Structure 1
């Protein structure tokens, strides 16, 4: 939408213009009256703009529907710490052995679960934890060893 306007102030006259892009949901009466389209869907869901919008929506949902917990939260046996103090910022936590977890409040014990298909490649291409790799995974997991699907979700 272009807006052109003139300001007359005493002896001076100035012309101004402004351009704004306006979007509306299809259900909104204005969208049909003024032929306003819906905001385009971003192709890159991992762009800074998309991630920023996702964070805004999480904050908004937490504000409008505060997190309430009736009983102690369930935690899986193993979770990934995405804010670990190691170089990669990623490490494995065994929840029952971790001394800091009981001290956390319910809000801090939140986690997200990722469910996806491994594809046709054998499990050897996936990041797995064995008795031999457990100690290393507990201290740090290098991001270059993480499958791209998981890395993208992190």
Structure 2
């Protein structure tokens, strides 16, 4: 199953209630938050309705591993480590877990206590134009989201 990496680009000022509710359903409560979602018709509808506030692309194992290593949090606000993952899931390393998530059989919820939200920093050198869709701006679907994740992680 394909997974999407979704990043909220714009804040909540003057957002329609229906769009804000959709973003909250996807756990994107603030600007620069990221989540990994499944490629289902329901999620595609949510992506379509919130397209003016988010950007998304296919989640690769490299981008998931980078997010888990640098921005993965467990209960209590601690950093995710290989030791924690080995104790609380069936996976030994973060890279092995990222491969399983990208290829479909595993979910973030398979590791007990792992938060399913990634809090990212603003991108180095900025987004460019936020309010325009791709290719000029930062909004909407992307073929490759890895470069944006590298600048924000």
Do they superpose with TM above 0.5? no
Which gives a bigger RCO, structure 1 or 2 (Cα 8 Å, sep 6+)? 2
The structure whose residues are more often strand, as a share, is: 2
The higher radius of gyration belongs to 1
With the shorter chain as reference, the TM-score category is under 0.3
The structure whose residues are more often helix, as a share, is: 2
